[in-house]
Structure 1
Amino acid sequence: MSIRQGLLALLADQPMYGAQLRSEFEARTGGTWPLNVGQVYQTLARLDRDGLVVELGDDDEGRTTYGLTDAGRAEVDRWWTQPVDRESTPRNELAIKLALAVTVPGVDVTRIVQAQRTATMRQLRDLTRIKSSTTGDPDRTQLAWLLVVENLIFGAESEVRWLDHVEARVARAARGTYGPSTSPGRSSHRDPRANAHESARR
């Protein structure tokens, strides 16, 4: 996610100083993508240079408060209305690791898959536990945090299904059968985790 766009979105809510922006960003995203103050101030300097934010002066404690310019507000409005660009595929370390593993002689790909599945299932259980700890009607900040947690849950579920698919395809390749894989949902590894997947969605 672009820190630049995130800070502009926060400033569209109200003027803030650097440390406040960092705290608000982490609170609203559940601390999933922590920032440091240096990142925040470097980004603010670039936004100021680009005419998207302006210094509004110092508060009683000498902290510089920033606000959006008209151009900055237009940039935020554009960000809200445009879909996130998926044309530039981000690097996925796990996909790269497995893609390389199947090409390097002597690497036990199945062992890599099984170890990763165990770790991902552990993460899925932890995320489900975190989600279930929230009770009552969430306020805006809690709702934002829940959406991030649920995104991570869906991502972990998807990763487990993909790992099932990888293991089945590698097994068929070892037998010399390279045909299309069966549906991940029909994998022999799917059933033991079905309940965990369903509980994570609730």
Structure 2
Amino acid sequence: MALDELGTVPWTVKGELILNCNCTVFCPCVISLGKHPPTEGHCQTWGGVRIDQGAYGDIDLSGLNIGLMIEIPGMMSRGNWKVGLFIDDRSTDAQYDALVAIFSGAAKGTTGLFQILVGEILGHERQPVTYETEGKTRHITVGRKIQGVVAPVAGKDPETDLVVTNTQYWMGPDITVATASKGKLRAYGRVWDFDGRSAEICQIDWHGPR
């Protein structure tokens, strides 16, 4: 991918994203937009993305999955994030490069804020990434790096998810409040265990470069 193309290619990613962080339930960043400190004073999070429909120019991204880890030293809005990316090992070289461009923020658009907030990309690599839904429970495995099981927090009506709607959160406006029964990461020198901690489920509809 030519460097002069970055930030000019039309792209879309539609699907679902889950996050599990070290906050107690529920992460304050969703409503405060990162202006309130995480419950532990710093943020450590892993995530997974299932791409149902997606494209970068004429490169089809549909059906691929992504894993990621994010480490933030304080309030989300103050930046200095560290990010690691795990790209579906089924991806072609062109798909891999496109996904790195999108998830690093270089492709601009919805994820372009990463160019402002991320201080260091720890690395990006191919891994087998599975993202499965069983009832309301999401299961994600990223090689031997991430093992996660996330489900919505029960509301008064057990058939209806507890959702924070109409937010200005970067992922999307409607965030399902969730928790992780399993949330383990071992990557880039980090070993995290966030079982029972806060999680989020979000339907995403991202695009760029504007």
Q: Taking structure 2 as the reference length, what is the TM-score of the superposition? A: 0.19
Q: Which protein is richer in helix relative to its size? A: 1
Q: Which protein is richer in strand relative to its size? A: 2
Which protein has the larger Cα radius of gyration, Structure 1 or Structure 2?
Answer: 1
